[in-house]
Amino acid sequence: MPTSRSAMITGVTGQDGSYLAELLLSKGYQVHGMVRRSSAFNTSRIDHLHMGGKANPNFFLHYGDLADAGSLRDILDLAQPDEIYNLGGQSHVRVSFDQPEYTMEVNGTAVLRFLEALRFHLKHGGKAARFYQAGSSEMFGRAKPPQNEGTRFEPRSPYAVAKVAAHHEVVNYRESYGLFLCNGILFNHESPRRGENFVTRKITRAAARIKLGLEHRLTLGNLEPRRDWGFAGDYVEAMWRMLQQEEPDDYVIATGVSNSIRGFLDLAFATVGLDWHEFVDTDPRFLRPSEVDDIEGDASKARDLLGWKPTMDFASLVEMMVEADLELARTEIRTEG
Ligand code: NAP
Ligand code: GDD
């Protein structure tokens, strides 16, 4: 049985899961990550934590899936976590229009499944665990900015509808059973570990590769929407702070500054000394049946109660991502000789 504090993370192989695992390990936690079975290796973001000479002895991986109640119960039983971070899910909004039922299954129904697994765990003598649910600014949909905890949800995608369902499940279980459950309502957060089919990484990767001659064009969808983009490393700190409070609650996490896709393009291509207008095409296949046009968060509750504020501004974030993608592209060129 663990003696230090123990945490369970679903979605540990994702962008946020990898930063959160690093944060918790640095605080001395024993970290149990749930990994879903894949036909190809899916652990590249966390390999530095569990492989080779630098493997962290407090880091454990377990196969499981949010669609599988048995695996959730087993990991709870084995890990006896003090804190649970539910970051797993189908995280791509555009894809949720292609896979609406699956998205509801793993982003919505799975949260109910997890909460029931937690109740089962407690009934059978398991340790009481605090629970973080990865909610999203997408839930606000077309509600006017700035959005905060009191703003009405007006979801615009199967992804957002599923996240709204999960949000209410968490509130309902908190009120019904007195469990320590928190919803984080996080606005877009990015990093060099961002998936390559989200717009920020798609742009920074293309800017770097076009600069170094590995690619020539970039094709995008709608360039007008505005997003409130922050750094993922800052946002996992907020998740942890939520679970350290005396009472469970829900918090918006955002920078309070929004920019359009055009604004992101301006900065990313300027970082490599290019004008994006010469390289970018648009294609309707990247459009969404319904779009979220403008989101900008008001995180004053998190600032006042959690003492949280972002450390990285928009320009530094874009520059960091472009520099990281330049380094990856240079490595590719060196490797290919
Ligand atoms: P991500 O990089 O796409 O990671 C998603 C994680 O979920 C991956 O580890 C993935 O595993 C796992 N996963 C997918 N389906 C699963 C299933 N059926 N069972 C178990 N695990 C499953 O996403 P992220 O950016 O880190 O976001 C983390 C969470 O925060 C997501 O729930 C997302 O919806 C939410 N969120 C993100 C943002 C943001 O801007 N990043 C903002 C608000 C909310 P594989 O590696 O095998 O694919
Ligand atoms: N992905 C993508 N690809 N988006 C594009 C493209 C493109 O080629 N061209 C334009 N966009 C626009 C989308 O239409 C959207 O308005 C905006 O860029 C951002 O898209 P994404 O980067 O895919 O992120 P998202 O805002 O839809 O969703 C992300 O943030 C949410 C928080 O608000 C994801 O991380 C979600 O999981 C998260 O909940």
User: Residue 278 is part of a domain; what is its CATH number?
Assistant: 3.90.25.10
pLDDT score recorded for residue 283: 98
Smallest CA-to-CA distance from 295 within 325, 328, 258 is with 258
The Å distance, Cα 283 to ligand 2 centre, comes to 15
- Same domain, yes or no, for 129 and 175? yes
Q: What is the pLDDT of residue 259?
A: 98
On whether both 245 and 157 belong to a single domain, the answer is: yes
Same domain, 18 and 145: yes
Residue 4 binned pLDDT confidence (cut-offs 50, 70, 90): confident
Placement of tokens 């459009």 in the chain = 287
Only one residue has tokens 């350290």, namely 244
The atom number, within ligand 1, closest to the CA of 107 reads 32
In a domain, 302, yes or no: no
For residue 181, the SS3 value is strand
Q: Which among 24, 128, 35 is positioned nearest to 76, based on CA atoms?
A: 128
| Same domain membership, residue 274 and residue 140 | no
Please state, in angstroms and as integers, the Cα–Cα distance from residue 259 to each residue in 94, 224, 267, 291, following that order.
20, 9, 11, 16
Task: Kindly state the tokens that stand for 154.
Answer: 């007006």
Q: Are 155 and 269 part of one and the same domain?
A: no
Quote the Cα angle for 31-26-174, to 5°. 50
Q: Which domain holds residue 212?
A: 199-225+258-297+314-336
In this structure, is residue 306 part of a structural domain? no
Structure tokens at 105: 């299954």
pLDDT at 314: 98
How far, in Å, CA of 114 to CA of 118, rounded?
6
Among 9, 72, 87, which residue has the most ligand 1 atoms within 8 Å of its CB, making it the best to mutate? 87
pLDDT value at 3 more than 70? no
Helix pair 15-26, 232-242: axis angle to 10 deg: 60
Tell me the best of 87, 99, 188 to mutate to test the pocket of ligand 2, counting ligand atoms within 8 Å of each CB and taking the most. Answer: 188
Q: Are residues 183 and 274 in the same domain?
A: no
Give the total number of structural domains in the chain.
2
My answer on whether 157 and 291 are in the same domain is no
Q: Specify the CATH number for the domain of residue 173.
A: 3.40.50.720
- Map tokens 């979220």 to a residue: 292
User: What tokens were used for 243?
Assistant: 């679970």
- 151 and 35 in a common domain: yes
Nearest CA to ligand 2 atom 18: 199
68 lies in a domain? yes
Give per-residue pLDDT as tens, 281-319. 999 999 999 999 999 999 999 999 999 999 999 999 999
Whether residue 134 sits in one domain with residue 10: yes
The confidence score (pLDDT) of residue 2 equals 44
Neighbouring CB atoms inside 10 A of 245's CB total 14
Quote the percentage of the chain above a pLDDT of 70: 99
Which protein residue's CA is at the shortest distance from atom 35 of ligand 1?
Answer: 134
Longest dimension (CA), the chain: 63
In a domain, 64, yes or no: yes
Q: How far apart are CA 255 and CA 290, in angstroms?
A: 25
Q: Is residue 305 part of a domain?
A: no
Mean per-residue pLDDT over the chain, rounded: 97
CA–centroid distance, 90 to ligand 1, in Å, is 6
Pairing of strands 30-35, 130-136: unpaired
Residue 81, helix vs strand vs coil = coil
- 4 in catalytic set: no
Residues in the chain: 337
- How many Å apart are CA 193 and CA 200, to the nearest integer? 11
Question: β-pairing, 189-190 with 218-220?
Answer: unpaired
Q: Clarify whether residues 76 and 158 are in a common domain.
A: yes
In this structure, the strands spanning 226-227 and 259-260 are: antiparallel
Asked if residue 277 and residue 158 are part of one domain, the reply reads no
What is the Cα gyration radius of the chain? 20
Each residue's pLDDT tens digit, 65-103: 999 999 999 999 999 999 999 999 999 999 999 999 999
Determine the residue of 90, 107, 142, 198 to mutate for testing ligand 2's pocket, defined as the one with the most ligand atoms within 8 A of the Cβ atom. Answer: 198
Phi then psi for residue 327, to 5 deg, are -65, -40
Strands 6-10 and 30-35: parallel
| Within a domain: 303 | no
Q: Which is catalytic among the residues 22, 138, 190, 296?
A: 138
Cα-Cα-Cα-Cα dihedral sign, residues 278, 279, 284, 288? negative
Q: Examine the domain organization and report whether 183 and 325 are in the same domain.
A: no
Structural domain includes residue 39: yes
* CA 250 to ligand 1 centroid distance, Å: 19
Residue 47 CB partners (closer than 8 Å, separation 6+): none
Q: Would 304 be classed as within a structural domain?
A: no
pLDDT tens profile 111-168: 999 999 999 999 999 999 999 999 999 999 999 999 999 999 999 999 999 999 999 9
